[in-house]
Structure 1
Amino acid sequence: MEECSELVRTLVEDRSPQSPKSNCAGNENERELLAQLRAGDEDAFGLVVQRYGGRMLATARRFLNNECDAQDAVQEAFASAFRALNKFNGDAMLSTWLHRIVVNASLVQLRSRRRRSEQRIEPLLPRFDHDGEWVDDPATRADATETILERRDSREMVRRCIERLPDKYRCVLLLRDIEELDTEETARSLATTANTVKVRLHRARQALKTLIERDSAVLSDISNRAQSSDRNCATSV
């Protein structure tokens, strides 16, 4: 399960290393932008939305898995951020501050829609037969991580698998494995207990690992059939 956690973080996050020089320039730009925001510069507000809106929407989509809800969360996040500008002391980067706000806004959206029927996670968990043996192909499980890392479209596949998790499990997985909150912080964010977080995280990792392995097996089978078809065509010619 820990291996699955590292795999998720590696594939879902799209972090590119920055040089110290570029970081310093970015900090200077953010300080200048923050000063303009506090002065009520409308162009600065527009620049913030243009610069950070896309990444904030991508974050909201991970949590909410619904375009309208994600857009609402981003709008609320910007509104909350602009209202709280005087409370932001600049200790963190502006982008980091906005990211935290949109995560919180997404959690609020999730809580507001809990009245909807909750999807069960059991169909997504590993399957066993009456003798306690794995139903899925053991060879597929053993090679899954290496295969996934080698695929060019791995990140998108993992994201699709995460989207298939029920809300409460997907949310815990994202907070712990992507946002890197500890168990207590996650529990506070979700207004639940630390033990509940641990149980949901374990089940979410189990389900995600199983989904990734099943999708990898399907993609591998499709690829093998395509190669076989190509060889048959070449032989016929």
Structure 2
Amino acid sequence: MSDASSAPPGGASHAAPLGGEQSAHAEALEDEAAIIEGLRAGDSRAFERLVRAHVGPLRAAALRLLKDEADADDVVQEAFLSAFRSLDSFRGEARLGTWLHRIAINAALQRLRRRRREDESGQREDIEALLPRFLEDGHAEQLYRPWVQSADELVSRAETRKRVRELIDELPEGYRTVLILRDIEELDTAESADLLGISRGTLKVRLHRARQALRNLLERELELTGEP
């Protein structure tokens, strides 16, 4: 293994960005530590800093799940208050923002469960109509024009990204929620299943079917609109 003295000329220039990232990371951790210390000391300015730093991402996550701005605002408020009350349980095993994100997601899911209990329609969630259909020989019943661009490229375009979000909202709630937790909020399988109160196997099945349905909806959309 070579040591630093054997590094080629110019090697320091490659290390500079890494050093910058490490410095920014260290500053962020110090800022979090200062906020936590201030909160535990009862400093109202620390709470204001906490809200300013995290209210945007938390509200966006809650809105994706709830699809209602007033409910999302309520959930974010609940999340901050819950975090403040349970601050003594925060051990620093995750970043402060990650901890807050989990609290907000859980609060949003609880609100969704309350909605379902209050819904008297009793409608069964059915995703079959959104899934691709296949003939007896295994071929798709309807063939759409193949995508010229990858899904990632399509989603990265502002106008397509907006439509993808709208199509996600067309999925039945149980499938939409799984897709959001895993593919947008980037929670892992175990945590997503725990939050939803379902088995990991059930979650994987729902996620697979949700992705199938979303792709089918997007392919149909691109066919109808003539997108390249």
| CA displacement at 1:169 relative to structure 2 | 0.5
Pick from 21, 42, 45: which aligns with 2:44? 42
Structure number with the bigger relative contact order (C-alpha 8 A, sep ≥ 6) is: 1
CA distance in 2, matches of 1:32, 1:147: 40
Q: Does residue 1:90 correspond to 2:96, yes or no?
A: no
CA distance in 2, matches of 1:130, 1:69: 46
Change (3 A) 1:105 1:195: same
Q: How does 1:1-237 map to 2 (within 5 A)?
A: 19-115=21-117, 116=119, 117=123, 119-128=125-134, 133-140=139-146, 145=151, 148=154, 151-219=157-225, 221=226
| CA displacement at 1:68 relative to structure 2 | 2.4
Change (3 A) 1:160 1:20: farther
What is the alpha-carbon root mean square deviation over aligned residues? 2.7
Deviations 1:25-76 (A, max 9, x none): 1111111111111111112212222221111010011112222222222111
| CA displacement at 1:19 relative to structure 2 | 2.1
Change (3 A) 1:136 1:40: farther
Deviations 1:83-132 (A, max 9, x none): 01111122322111111111111111111111324553223222446876
- 2:170 partner amino acid: R
Gaps of 5+ in 2: 1-17
Aligned pairs, number: 206
Contact 1:56 1:74 in 2 (8 A): yes
TM-score by length of 1: 0.75
Contact 2:179 2:210 in 1 (8 A): yes
Deviations 1:128-148 (A, max 9, x none): 468764344342357563762
Contact 2:125 2:174 in 1 (8 A): no
TM-score by length of 2: 0.77
Change (3 A) 1:128 1:143: farther
CA distance in 1, matches of 2:48, 2:164: 33
Contact 1:120 1:166 in 2 (8 A): yes
Which of the two has higher C-alpha Rg?
A: 2
Gaps of 5+ in 1: 1-16, 225-237
Change (3 A) 1:150 1:109: closer
CA distance in 1, matches of 2:93, 2:193: 25
| CA displacement at 1:184 relative to structure 2 | 3.5
Q: Tell me the SS of whatever aligns to 1:153.
A: helix
CA distance in 2, matches of 1:136, 1:30: 53
Change (3 A) 1:150 1:106: closer
Q: Tell me the SS of whatever aligns to 2:146.
A: helix
1:233: which partner in 2?
none
